[in-house]
Amino acid sequence: MVFLMSGVRHAFTVDVEDWYHGIPGRGESDVYLPRLERGLEVLLQLLDRRSVKATFFWLGELVARHPDWLLRIASSGHEIGCHGWSHEFIYKMSPQRFREETLRARDAIGNVIGRAVEGYRAPYFSITKNSWWALEILSELGFTYDSSIMPIRNWRYGLPAFGQHPQAVETKSGRLWEIPISVRRCLGFKVPVSGGAYFRLYPYAFTRANIRAHEGVLGPAVFYLHPWELDPEQPRVGFSWKEWCTHYVNLSSTQPKLERLLGDFAFGTLREMIASRTAV
Ligand SMILES: [Zn+2]
C-alpha cells in the first residue's frame, strides 16, 4: 500500500449521539433532556467555515427524533455512517442482538438519506477480541468499512494486536476495510493521537505534534469528536469518577482547540481517505 504523503488529508469523524448516550445507567429523570442540536450547530458552522466535509456516524435511536438534521447534514455533502442503535457495548451483546440492532439502524438512516450506508463506528470503540465476530456481520449487512478498533489497551476498549495501519479484513461474508483509530508511538508507548476526551485532555500542541508525527510515519490520521463535546452547558450528573472525567473534562476547551485544528490540518471524509489509499 502506498500513502499519499503530500497534501495529507486526514479523516474527520463525528459520532452523533446526545450528551447522555455515553453516561452509564442513565435514568428517566427530567435532567436527561435532548440537546443534540446545540453542539451539532456549532460543529457544522466550524466545519463549514473551513469547507470541511466529514463522516457523521449516526446513532439509529436518534434518527426518528432528528430526521431533519440527518437530511441537512447528508445534503451538505458530508458522509453518513452508522453508530449502532442503542449505544451499548458490542462485546456485551449477543451476535443476534448486534445483527438486529445494526440492521435496524442501517435501514432507519438509509431511508432518510435515500442511499446505502457504507461505514460503521461502534459505540465506545467496542470491537475487541471478544466481539471480533461483529466484522463478519457488518460485511453481511453490506457495510464496506468499519472504524471501531482502538489499537491500544484501555479500561473500556482496545485491541492492541490489530496494529496501527488500515487493513482489509477477510470475513466469511466478504471483505471489510478496518480503519483503526489513530495511535502513535511516543516515548516507547502507544498513545491515541487525538479525538474525544484525548483532544480535551491534551494540550493542543500535543495533539498537533501527534498528528504531524502520524502523517510522517503512518499517513492520514482518523480524528473523532461528539457534538456534545461542543456543548459545555450540558447538565452535570453523577456517576463513576473515571467515566465522569472522560465525559466532562475540559468541555469549554473543545471549540477553541477545534478552531486551531481545522486551521492547521486538511480534513475530509473517511470514505475519501480509504479511496486515496486503495487507488494508488
Ligand atoms: Zn458513541
Q: How far is the CA of 22 from the centre of ligand 1 (A)?
A: 6
pLDDT in tens, 117-129: 999 999 999 999 9
Cα–Cα distance for residue pair 105/139, rounded to 1 Å: 15
Angle at 89 between CA 124 and CA 168, to 5 degrees: 65
- Can you list the domains of the chain with their CATH numbers? 9-25+32-278 (3.20.20.370)
The proportion of the chain whose per-residue pLDDT surpasses 70, expressed as a percent, equals 95
Give the residue from 107, 114, 36, 20 showing the smallest Cα distance to 69: 36
pLDDT in tens, 128-139: 999 999 999 999
- How crowded is residue 36: how many other Cβ atoms within 10 Å of its Cβ? 21
Cα–Cα distance for residue pair 58/5, rounded to 1 Å: 30
The pLDDT value given to residue 246:
87
Provide the residues around ligand 1 (an ion) whose CB is within 5 A. Answer: 15, 17, 123
- How crowded is residue 233: how many other Cβ atoms within 10 Å of its Cβ? 11
Q: Is pLDDT at 1 greater than 70 in this prediction?
A: no
Calculate mean pLDDT across residues 58-83. Answer: 97
The pLDDT value given to residue 280:
44
Calculate mean pLDDT across residues 230-255. Answer: 90
Q: How far is the CA of 227 from the centre of ligand 1 (A)?
A: 10
Give the residue from 261, 157, 149 showing the smallest Cα distance to 211: 261
Q: How far is the CA of 131 from the centre of ligand 1 (A)?
A: 17
Residue 180, amino acid = P
Cα–Cα distance for residue pair 36/69, rounded to 1 Å: 10
Q: How far is the CA of 273 from the centre of ligand 1 (A)?
A: 21
Mean pLDDT across the chain, nearest whole number? 93
Q: How far is the CA of 158 from the centre of ligand 1 (A)?
A: 15
